[in-house]
Amino acid sequence: MKENKNYILPLSILGLMFFSGGFAASVNGILIPILNQSLEVSSAGAYALIAAMFIPFVLFAYPAGQLGYKKTMAFSYAIYAVSFLIFVVSAKQESYLLFLAASFLGGIANTFLQAAINPYITILGPIESAAKRISIIGILNKLAWAISPMFIAAVLGSTLDIKVTQLDVPFYILSGLFLLLGLIALVSPLPEIKATGEDDSNEEESQEVAQYANSKTSILQFPHLVLGSIAIFFYVGVETIALGSIIDYAKTLGLAAAENYSWITPIAMSIGYISGVLLIPKYLSQNTAFKICAIVALIGTICVATLPAHLSIYSIGIMALGCSLMWPAIWPLAMKDLGKFTKTGSSLLTMGLFGGAILTLLFGWFKDLFGAQNAYWLCLPCFIYIAFYAFKGCKLR
């Protein structure tokens, strides 16, 4: 599409949505130690709460990607509001199964939200600077992971020894807030936009992309897209582990005020995002930034798994720093030159978020079997594949 430099308003609206999505997802990370203690659920069972949130990406990614962007955003917030009300019932009845159901419904909401926001911000301007735009609003998304424990603490007075029966008031508040966000999304001035080669533009670049895309009969004929969806699978899994496990890991280590450690990963990722905003694309291409981050993430993973426990928790920040510019880079690299397949390609990438279900379940299982610190070895092969995509896979067109 043509370059549109008036990004302030749409970025502000999308930033609010990215923040709310991160906030909603981070609630499950807070619930892990609560379910462990209050309902005596195993680590694998507690991490299944996060897994339940990611399962819908496989089931609902395609229909979510076919609707108009604004309607999809508004619809997602309505589902979020209902899911928080089910969390209220779960808390009152102390029902682990209802917690899973509420998390699953929240995952459906997240699927629709991600299917609308990510392609929108990617094609909002030039594809070469998409990582910069995603980095800008990604800062808000990751800071939400640290702010949600503070919200729970502010409502309940403390995050220590919380019982599930105390959670009804925070979830009532969240349900009302997300209904309001749905109305904001519906009346927002975000225009419907199309990617290069997706419309009938007579521009030379648009015609070239359309010709390339029209020569294909299936999204599976775009290797960089297919490999990118696998990269998203691994990326979302390891990022969710880094963001969602740190409070639980701090408690496992017996560290005081474990909730305060929730700031380590969002701050580290925000540093990466800010670097992306400042450096991409003027000083650093999004592909080069991607390669650097892949190497940093590999180093961070090895440090987490091998350093003394009281130091390894800070190394999760290194791993998170490596994660920071992966999402902003994978989306534009995987969606480049899709033309008329843009929305379907976005659906395939959204399906990749299912990695958050599989890998968090495996992480909880590994924690039960091998201990909390050794469980982080699971992230190493994931980052190795992501490094392959950064150096080679994204170039296979």
Question: In the numeric block, which tokens belong to residue 352?
Answer: 């990749």
Q: What is the pLDDT averaged over residues 325-341?
A: 87
Highest mean pLDDT among 102-111, 118-127, 130-139, 297-306: 297-306
152-174 in b/e form (b: 16+ CB < 10 A) is bbeeeeebeebebebbbebbeeb
pLDDT, residue 202, reads: 53
pLDDT, residue 236, reads: 92
Residue 77 confidence (pLDDT) above 90: yes
DSSP for residue 160? T
pLDDT, residue 210, reads: 62
The burial of 271, by beta-carbon neighbours within 10 Å (0-12 exposed, 13-18 middle, 19 or more buried), is given as middle
In this prediction, what percent of the chain has a pLDDT beyond 70? 92
Q: What is the pLDDT averaged over residues 79-107?
A: 91
Mean pLDDT in the chain?
85
Q: What is the pLDDT averaged over residues 102-113?
A: 92
pTM of the model: 0.76
Residue 37 confidence (pLDDT) above 50: yes
Residue 38 confidence (pLDDT) above 50: yes
Nearest to 29 by CA among 4, 61, 54: 54
pLDDT, residue 209, reads: 61
What backbone torsions phi and psi does residue 206 show, to the nearest 5 degrees?
-65, -40
- In this structure, how many other beta carbons lie within 10 angstroms of the beta carbon of residue 193? 16
Identify residue 242 by its one-letter amino acid code: A
pLDDT, residue 84, reads: 93
Question: In the numeric block, which tokens belong to residue 103?
Answer: 């998390």
Contact of 306 with 359, CB cutoff 8 Å? no
- In this structure, how many other beta carbons lie within 10 angstroms of the beta carbon of residue 311? 11
pLDDT interval class at 291 (50, 70, 90): very high
Question: In the numeric block, which tokens belong to residue 206?
Answer: 């648009």
Residue 60 confidence (pLDDT) above 50: yes
- In this structure, how many other beta carbons lie within 10 angstroms of the beta carbon of residue 385? 17
pLDDT, residue 198, reads: 59
Contact of 396 with 227, CB cutoff 8 Å? yes
